[in-house]
């Protein structure tokens, strides 16, 4: 199963396409070698809406990353986002096959397959991940490594992430047209979580909230593993749009004002602070109180955080995340976001930055690179020797089905 060649992560976001190239060091260590981004104009709310624009954006980002790293790449781990992504938990049960009741690897495959069968998705949906969270041997739960143990009944609690087949096929098509093989599809909040969450937080129970341009993705982790996923079709771009409308300024100026003068709370801003706002359709610039800008940002942010709150509530894991919320994605750069989130969500909140090493680590420092870096961390773990279960175990064939579907689309089978 060990793949060779550099680790490559392809994060197809709504604002940017980002490619990161890394070398895998000892164990699961990741050393960043290169990074390239390009503006993502063919993706809306996490979903590809323009094949040509997205293919070009991928090609450009790959080219830039290859130049920095000084290597050519052929395959990548690719992030999956969009409101169509959904998750559910499922349980599989089998009788242990060997007469002496020693649990073997084939029992693991069978029980994972059983979990998949009980959660058969609708025909237009495909499994992105099938993650075994916990095994139960003869009623004893909390077993992480059942192989070699004795038992007669083996159960697994699995987390299953699915997406709309056609939307996944569109993403695959862009990646393949850009000349890349797909090593694995990885759910965006799962990747972001890999980059910014501490193991202790995941064990205790925590939520990662990645607020990008057009999406806010949420991943809940308990007992060390992913247990709930939700992707909301809102993000920082909605804040920018509100600023453009509210202050009557072009989108590009609104974005600039948000980045240079924005913050999460009006309270933090003195009444006499002012900003220069270029007016739309003229060369004039008006001087406005900075508070006018924050008065636009604050309610939209509260709305986004309110949606995060209802998503967490609906998951029924709200009481199982004492480690609180870790915010990442480009919008996490907004000053005061952690405090605003702690207040709305009534949970501890912090900003999560990706942690990496290597001479080029600096280029992927910000929260906007959490997903890309997380793809590296995830890939390194999957490639590590002696790994028994991949997060796509049992889903490999389904992933194949997406590919076949994709072929049928393109060749009219």
Ligand X SMILES: Nc1ncnc2c1ncn2[C@@H]1O[C@H](COP(=O)(O)OP(=O)(O)O)[C@@H](O)[C@H]1O
Residue 12 in tokens: 């197809």
325 near 317, Cβ under 8 Å? no
147 or 351: CB nearest Mg ion: 351
- Shortest distance in whole angstroms from residue 88 CB to ligand X: 25
CB of 14 to ligand X, least distance (A): 4
Q: Alpha-carbon distance 28 to 264, whole Å? A: 37
CB of 212 to ligand X, least distance (A): 3
Q: How far is the CB of 219 from Mg ion (least distance, A)?
A: 13
Cβ proximity to ligand X, 151 vs 236, nearer residue: 236
Q: Using the rule CB under 5 A, which residue among 6, 9, 13, 394 binds Mg ion?
A: 13
Q: Residue 212, interface with Mg ion (CB under 5 A)?
A: yes
Of the pair 311, 331, the CB lying nearest ligand X is at 331
Least distance CB 148 / ligand X (angstroms): 42
Q: Which is nearer to ligand X, 14 or 162 (CB)?
A: 14
Interatomic CA distance for residues 272 and 211, integer angstroms: 30
Q: Least Å distance between CB 354 and Mg ion?
A: 12
240 binds, among ligand X, Mg ion, none (CB under 5 to 8 A by kind): ligand X
Under the rule (CB under 6 A), what is the footprint of ligand X? 13-16, 40, 212-215, 235-237, 240, 255, 258-259, 262, 329-331, 333-334, 368
Piece of 51-59, 146-154, 212-220, 228-236 that binds Mg ion (CB under 5 A): 212-220
Q: Which long-range contacts (CB under 8 A, 24 or more apart) does 139-146 make?
A: 145/388, 146/103, 146/107, 146/108
Is the Cα torsion angle 151, 112, 185, 119 positive or negative in sign?
Answer: negative
Indicate the residue among 368 and 402 with the shorter CB distance to Mg ion: 368
Which stretch in 10-18, 53-61, 168-176, 221-229 sits in contact with Mg ion by CB under 5 A?
10-18
* Strands of 64-121, DSSP E: 75-80, 86-95
Q: Which does 82 bind (CB under 5 to 8 A by kind): Mg ion, ligand X, none?
A: none
Smallest distance, ligand X to C-beta of residue 294, A? 12
Residue for token pair 């501890």: 348
* Closer residue to ligand X (CB): 94 or 349: 349
24 vs 40 by CB, closer to ligand X? 40
Residue 213 binds which of ligand X, Mg ion, none (CB < 5-8 A, kind-dependent): ligand X
Query: Order of strands across the sheet with 325-328?
Result: 225-232, 216-222, 206-211, 325-328, 349-351
- By a kind-dependent CB cut-off of 5 to 8 A, residue 87 interacts, out of Mg ion, ligand X, none, with none
15 binds, among ligand X, Mg ion, none (CB under 5 to 8 A by kind): ligand X
Nearer residue to ligand X within complex by CB, 40 or 265: 40
Q: Given the structure tokens 């490559």, which residue do they identify?
A: 8
Residue 230, number of CB atoms within 10 A of its CB: 22
How far apart are alpha carbons 275 and 283 in whole angstroms?
16
Binding mask 325-364 for Mg ion (x = CB under 5 A): ----------------------------------------
What is the total residue count of the chain?
Answer: 413
Q: Binding to Mg ion (CB under 5 A): which residues in 369-398?
A: 371
Distance CA 404, CA 385 (A): 29
What letters, b where the CB count within 10 A reaches 16 and e where it falls short, cover 366-398? ebbbbbbbbbbbbbbbbbeeeeebbbbbbbeeb
Please, what's the b/e burial string for 231-247 (b: 16 or more CB within 10 A of its CB; e: otherwise)? Answer: bbbbbbbbbbebbbebb
Question: What burial letters (b/e) apply to 334-345, b meaning 16+ CB within 10 Å?
Answer: bebbbebbbebb
CB of 169 to Mg ion, least distance (A): 21
Would you say 232 or 293 has its CB closer to Mg ion? Answer: 232
What does 222 bind: Mg ion, ligand X, none (CB cut-off 5 to 8 Å by kind)? Answer: none
With tokens 């992105």, the residue in question is: 128
Nearer to ligand X, 11 or 107 (CB): 11
With H, G, I as helix, E, B as strand and everything else as coil, classify residue 218: strand
Q: Which residues pair with 10 in a beta bridge?
A: 19, 78
- Residues interacting with Mg ion, by CB under 5 A? 13, 212, 371
């Amino acid at each position: 199963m060990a793949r060779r060649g550099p680790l490559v992560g392809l994060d197809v976001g709504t604002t940017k396409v980002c490619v990161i190239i890394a070398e895998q060091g000892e164990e699961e260590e990741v050393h960043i070698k290169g990074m390239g981004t390009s503006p993502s104009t063919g993706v809306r709310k996490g979903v590809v809406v323009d094949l040509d624009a997205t293919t070009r954006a991928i090609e450009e980002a790959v080219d830039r990353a290859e130049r920095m790293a000084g290597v050519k790449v052929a395959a990548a781990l690719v992030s999956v986002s969009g409101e169509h992504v959904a998750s559910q938990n499922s349980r599989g049960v089998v009788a242990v096959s060997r007469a002496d009741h020693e649990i073997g690897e084939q029992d693991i495959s069978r029980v994972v397959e059983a979990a998949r069968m009980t959660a058969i998705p609708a025909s237009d949906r495909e499994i992105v991940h099938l993650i075994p969270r916990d095994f139960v041997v003869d009623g004893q739960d909390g077993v992480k490594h059942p192989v070699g143990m004795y038992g007669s009944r083996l159960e697994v609690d699995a987390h299953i992430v699915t997406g709309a087949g056609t939307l996944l096929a569109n993403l695959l098509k862009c990646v393949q047209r850009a000349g890349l093989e797909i090593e694995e599809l990885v759910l965006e909040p799962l990747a972001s979580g890999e980059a910014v969450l501490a193991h202790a937080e995941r064990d205790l129970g925590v939520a990662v909230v990645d607020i990008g341009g057009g999406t806010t993705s949420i991943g809940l982790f308990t007992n060390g593993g992913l247990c709930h996923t939700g992707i909301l079709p809102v993000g920082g771009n909605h804040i920018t749009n509100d600023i453009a409308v509210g202050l009557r300024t072009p989108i590009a100026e609104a974005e600039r004002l948000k980045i240079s003068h924005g913050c999460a709370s009006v309270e933090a801003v003195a009444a006499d602070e002012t900003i220069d706002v270029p007016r739309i359709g003229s060369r004039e610039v008006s001087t406005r109180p900075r508070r006018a800008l924050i008065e636009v940002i604050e309610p939209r942010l509260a709305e986004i955080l309110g949606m995060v709150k209802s998503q967490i509530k609906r998951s029924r894991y709200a009481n199982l995340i004492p480690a609180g919320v870790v915010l990442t994605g480009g919008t996490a750069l907004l000053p005061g976001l952690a405090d605003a989130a702690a207040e709305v969500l009534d949970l501890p909140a912090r900003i999560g930055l990706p942690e990496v090493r290597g001479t080029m680590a600096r280029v992927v420092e910000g929260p906007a690179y959490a997903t890309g870096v997380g793809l590296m961390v995830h890939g390194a773990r999957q490639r590590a020797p002696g790994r028994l279960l991949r997060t796509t175990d049992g889903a490999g064939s389904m992933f194949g089905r997406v590919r076949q579907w994709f072929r049928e689309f393109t060749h009219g089978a």
